[in-house]
Homo-oligomer: A and B are copies of this chain.
Amino acid sequence: MKKSCQHHHDSAPQELSTLTSRLRRESRKITGPRAAILEILRHHPHPLTNREIFDELPKGECDLATIYRAMQMLEKLGMVKRFDFGDGAARYELMGEGDDGHHHHLICTRCDTVVEIEECFPAEIEQRIAAKNNFKAVTHRLEFFGICPACQK
């Protein structure tokens, strides 16, 4: 049987020590900027752009380029998941160790409110699509858009 989805946002944030030890394990240094970035990610339940992370940081704490490099590295190590909401900016969300981070969002097109979504595209249909076209290792990128309760008034 398949283990049910375990999205990080359902549980308490990972310890910072858990994250840093993962970095050390990969012979990455624990630097001020990195610790600060991880702290911000730890406390945010939704994907953040590099600029949003930058703006959360005390000014002068870290260069924007450093954030870009850090997020690239964290993504490569599988510690963050990259999302794309269709505006020009990449967004990142921390993901748990075993978790592959695959999940989706519901975004308000008026105010940009983000809701984490449990549902996923049905695996049977995806398998049918893969088989029909002889594709292997098929996955998907999926986000929902609509008007949130507050913006309906």
* Residues of chain A whose beta carbon lies under 8 Å from any beta carbon of chain B: 84, 86, 88, 106, 108, 115, 117, 119, 121-122, 125-126, 128-130, 133-149, 152
Contact = CB atoms under 8 A, between A and B. Distances in A.
Nearest to A145: B139
* Number of copies of this protein chain within its complex: 2
Contacts of A144: 126, 129-130, 135, 138-140
Contact of A142 (B119, B128, B142, B146): B142
A129 B119 contact: yes
Contacts of A106: 129, 133, 135, 138
Nearest to A83: B86
15 contacts: A88-B88, A106-B133, A115-B133, A115-B135, A119-B125, A119-B128, A134-B149, A135-B148, A136-B146, A136-B147, A138-B145, A138-B146, A139-B146, A140-B142, A142-B142
